[in-house]
Amino acid sequence: MVQLRGSLASAILLAMAITVAASPRSYHGYRLVNAVPRSAEDAAELRALATWTGVDMWSRRAAPGATVTFMVAPGAAQRRVLQRLEELGVPYSLGEHDVQSLVEREARDQTRSRALLRDDAGSSVRFDTYMRHGEIEQYLAELAAKYPKLVTLHSVGKSYEGRNMTAIRVSLDGGNAPRAILVDAGIHAREWIAPATALYLINRLVEHADEHQALLQGLDWYILPVVNPDGYEYTHTKVRTDITHHHYLVQTLFLTKYSRTNQIKSSRPNYFITTNKILVPRAKISSVLNLVIWTKRSSGCRFWRKNRGAKRETWLKWLWDLLCEPGADLNRNFGFHWMQSGASSYPCAETFAGKKAFSEVESQNLRDFVLNANKDKRFKMYLTLHSYGPMILYPWGYDYRVEPAPDAKQLADIGNEANAAMVKAGSEPFEVENSAELYPAAGGSDDWAKGEADIAKSYTIELHGGGSQGFDLPASRILTSVQQTFEGLKVFASHAREL
Ligand SMILES: [Zn+2]
């Protein structure tokens, strides 16, 4: 009987822990660590670090001499990471010690810039704030209604949580141009400047079509501004509650209920006795709560990268969900050399590639849309927008030491020309590189587009970073960034027309 009651107590404890863990998360105590690898071996060690639980590599690059930024969860993860860096002898410095303060600063900026919004000649597009997915959908619908000759919307499908994935086609002659270019953005949730850049491109091509006829002559544009709408919305979720506070509150309530209210004192100071005469070690309760909350906190909202699918179908699902939230890295889920390198089969990892190639509905939708729209092989170029760089990357990305793409030189030349145009517009220079040299990663949409979907030229563009030093480019800098990038997109388009 005592044992049975004991199980009941554990169940209550667990239920309380789950309730607490389900509260909004915060990034209190998360810190940024900047390490500088001295050699290729160091860089490889740092990439290995990135697969640890509680460690999130923010930099795309891990190469000798370049700073690699990690966000590290508080507690054991931070201790282990710093210890590892000491062991390796890799020089490092500690950055922001409380990522939550960055998130809150950014949220205040957003609120401020929203308050300053003006109606811009009847258009609902904004470049002084990051638009939400619903607002983006609404903008696309407005364009379709206002410019029926120029614009057609394509439903690419629904996301895991049922949001629309809508692509816009901009075409002077009803989708019959001899060539087409495909641009997408937001495959990674937290890279907010990417959808904003796609929106600026749409805005220029549609609402300023007169000025940009050259971009539309002989070339149809297909633009999908948000590939991962669930993740994108998740990163916009307000995070205000301090979970640590709840944690102590629940712990106190629990201890009060079982040790104080019942007025049964144990003779052993570190134990207490419940009314059912069960001896419970205080430390055990504390560590169970700590474990549950710490693991839950290791994933997050504003800096969520993956989709919101990849749900686990096992009777241990609830336990998995406590360890980490479900989600796959869509840019590791494409079916070209899937899982060959730079991806993880561990569901909690930031680079979890999914259970199999195209296991995720968003990557399936994009695949089916591309294969269907490109039946006549008109698609000559694919640009997928990410952050942060700035970098222009071309295939192959799936592994080290593979034969370069046969047209690697041409890919690099076009990239360099685009970079020059952006620099001329005031941008800091983009590094133009073969993707795998930088960071081999299989299952990317760029490799798949070139390798499987017959799109000759394919690029990943890592847009401007900012804010704390990465994904949180302040809203006040959106316009400058998208204007500079647009100059590069024009160069890509000029080549797409000639391929
Ligand atoms: Zn990305």
Residue 177's pLDDT band (cuts 50, 70, 90): very high
CA of 191 to the centre of ligand 1 (A): 6
Q: Specify the pLDDT at position 295.
A: 45
CA of 289 to the centre of ligand 1 (A): 33
Say which residue, 299 or 477, is predicted with more confidence: 477
The total number of residues shown for the chain amounts to 499
Residue 319's pLDDT band (cuts 50, 70, 90): confident
Looking at 106, 233, 360, 462, which residue is catalytic?
A: 462
| Residue 277 pLDDT greater than 80, yes or no | no
Q: Specify the pLDDT at position 211.
A: 94
Residue 251's pLDDT band (cuts 50, 70, 90): low
Contact call for residues 349 and 305 (beta carbons, < 8 A): no
pLDDT tens digits for range 289-304: 555 554 444 444 888 8
CA of 306 to the centre of ligand 1 (A): 9
Residue 18's pLDDT band (cuts 50, 70, 90): very low
| Residue 329 pLDDT greater than 60, yes or no | yes
Q: Specify the pLDDT at position 13.
A: 45
CA distance 431 to 64: 15
CA of 280 to the centre of ligand 1 (A): 47
Q: Specify the pLDDT at position 285.
A: 55
Mean pLDDT of 125-147: 95
Burial of 313 (0-12, 13-18, 19+ CB in 10 A): exposed
Say which residue, 156 or 280, is predicted with more confidence: 156
| Residue 132 pLDDT greater than 60, yes or no | yes
Q: Specify the pLDDT at position 472.
A: 87
Contact call for residues 380 and 453 (beta carbons, < 8 A): no
Q: Specify the pLDDT at position 314.
A: 74
Name the least confident of 13-22, 346-355, 407-416: 13-22
CA of 404 to the centre of ligand 1 (A): 22
Say which residue, 287 or 441, is predicted with more confidence: 441
| Residue 166 pLDDT greater than 70, yes or no | yes
Q: Specify the pLDDT at position 252.
A: 52
Q: Specify the pLDDT at position 201.
A: 98
Neighbours of ion ligand 1 (CB under 5 A): 188, 386
| Residue 185 pLDDT greater than 90, yes or no | yes
CA 299, 301, 302, 304 dihedral sign is positive
Per cent of the chain over pLDDT 70 is 79
pLDDT tens digits for range 210-250: 999 999 999 999 999 999 999 999 998 755 334 444 444 55
> E-assigned strands of 55-97?
55-57, 68-72, 92-94
Would you call 199 helix, strand, or coil by DSSP? helix
Per DSSP, 428 falls in state: P
Mean pLDDT of 458-477: 88
| Closest C-alpha to 43, from 351, 398, 440 | 440
CA distance 55 to 49: 7
Q: Specify the pLDDT at position 383.
A: 98
Question: Is 161 part of the annotated catalytic residue set?
Answer: no
Mean pLDDT of 459-487: 91
CA of 218 to the centre of ligand 1 (A): 30
Per cent of the chain over pLDDT 90 is 55
Q: Specify the pLDDT at position 412.
A: 97
CA 243, 247, 249, 250 dihedral sign is positive
| Closest C-alpha to 482, from 124, 191, 197, 125 | 197
Q: Specify the pLDDT at position 279.
A: 52
Q: Specify the pLDDT at position 61.
A: 76
Cis? peptide before 395, omega within 30° of 0: no
Residue 376's pLDDT band (cuts 50, 70, 90): very high
Q: Specify the pLDDT at position 437.
A: 79
The pTM assigned to this predicted structure is 0.75
Mean pLDDT of 89-115: 78
Name the least confident of 14-28, 107-121, 178-192, 378-392: 14-28
CA of 216 to the centre of ligand 1 (A): 28
Count of beta carbons in the 10 Å neighbourhood of residue 188: 26
CA of 248 to the centre of ligand 1 (A): 36
| Residue 269 pLDDT greater than 80, yes or no | no
CA of 239 to the centre of ligand 1 (A): 22
| Residue 284 pLDDT greater than 70, yes or no | no
Mean pLDDT of 176-201: 97
